Amino acid sequence: MGSWGYILVSGLAVGGIAGFLMHRSGFCLAGAFRDVFLFRDAFLARNLLLAVVASMVLFEGARRLGLLPFHPFPLLGPPSAAHLAGGMVFGVGMVLAGGCVVGTLYKTGAGNLPAAAAVLGLIAGSAAYAEFHPLWSSLRAVARLPVDAVTFPLLLTVDPGIIVLAIAVPAAFLFARWRREGKWSRRGDLPRGYVPPWAAAFALALLGTGYCSLTGMPIGITTSYSKMAGWAESLLAPRHFESLTFFRSIPLSVVHPGTGELLLGGPGPVPDYISAVQLPVIAGILLGGALSAVLVSELTFRRRIHAGQLLAGFSGGVLMALSSRLGGGCNVWHLLGGMPILALPSLLFAAGLFPGAWMGGRLMAKIL
């Protein structure tokens, strides 16, 4: 099996394990932000912080061992106000959708119809973005901040390990305190087959580090939604499809330092490195969520769904797709990929998620 074969199989396995564990634990990146504002509940937020810090330590360890082909990762550019704006819009979208780009996938696999509506919204939103891609590209250039450094350590010209240590040590004491206070566990009756979210957080950090060591890029899936949108548009409106520059762009063009292979990828509906890295993960997450639901007899497709739920799911998916393109990636890419290496675009995107989640909660209350 060639290197691409290993990537395809590994992507399916990584996605399957992630989807299974996230469904069994209820680990939801969208819920981590939403619950803080809607319910004053920081349980999922604590577990997300654990996943980020664990990823930070693991990524830095992998970098020092020479296991990361790229550092910073491809597709991470200099910081821009667009990253902050993208995070805000994404925050609104993920709350409306009831999950992020990964959460909606594993919930779809488990038979959640509003989540499936969000997945359709992600594809529709990707098609919509293609219509104004040239305009946004010019605006993004204007919004670029006067900083060339991609990561915080590069900005300060210090060893990344120093900053990681300065964050990880206090975080470890905080995590230990939360353990003594019993804040890592849910109280009351737990569902059959329940996996503690802290265990899922550690697993996601390990999976993300391992997959990045293999592929050179963090886990991310939103460009593949653009590929799906492009494929559909090429069939339904081929002439219009040919006029869209977005689907002809190739943002990934980098030589792998270990193999010397030229890695190419973009949003167009053609097989490339991005499709090899992302599509198996998408399939795996769907299958993992479905398997988890089947094993505990939770796979159901409710027919009587409130129309507002479907509308919120679809609208949230559209917003997540648009903001992923505007902000240079989704929340998984930034929170569990860019933030662990202290990438400035990811820090800005994460900052935007907070006000976005608050606004999304207000909108959700009005819709439902």
| pLDDT tens digits along 296-334 | 887 877 667 778 889 999 999 999 999 999 999 999 999
Average the pLDDT over each of 101-105, 136-140, 247-251 and give the range with the smallest value: 136-140
Give 1's pLDDT tier (boundaries 50, 70, 90): very low
Is 90 exceeded by the pLDDT of residue 97? yes
For 268, other C-beta atoms within 10 Å of its C-beta total: 21
pTM of the model: 0.94
- Cα–Cα distance measured from residue 140 to residue 257, given in angstroms and rounded to the nearest whole number: 29
Q: What is the pLDDT of residue 306?
A: 78
| pLDDT tens digits along 76-93 | 989 999 999 999 999 999
| pLDDT tens digits along 215-254 | 999 999 999 999 999 999 999 999 999 999 999 999 999 9
Give 131's pLDDT tier (boundaries 50, 70, 90): very high
Give 191's pLDDT tier (boundaries 50, 70, 90): confident
- Cα–Cα distance measured from residue 64 to residue 83, given in angstroms and rounded to the nearest whole number: 28
- Mean of all residue pLDDT scores within the chain: 93
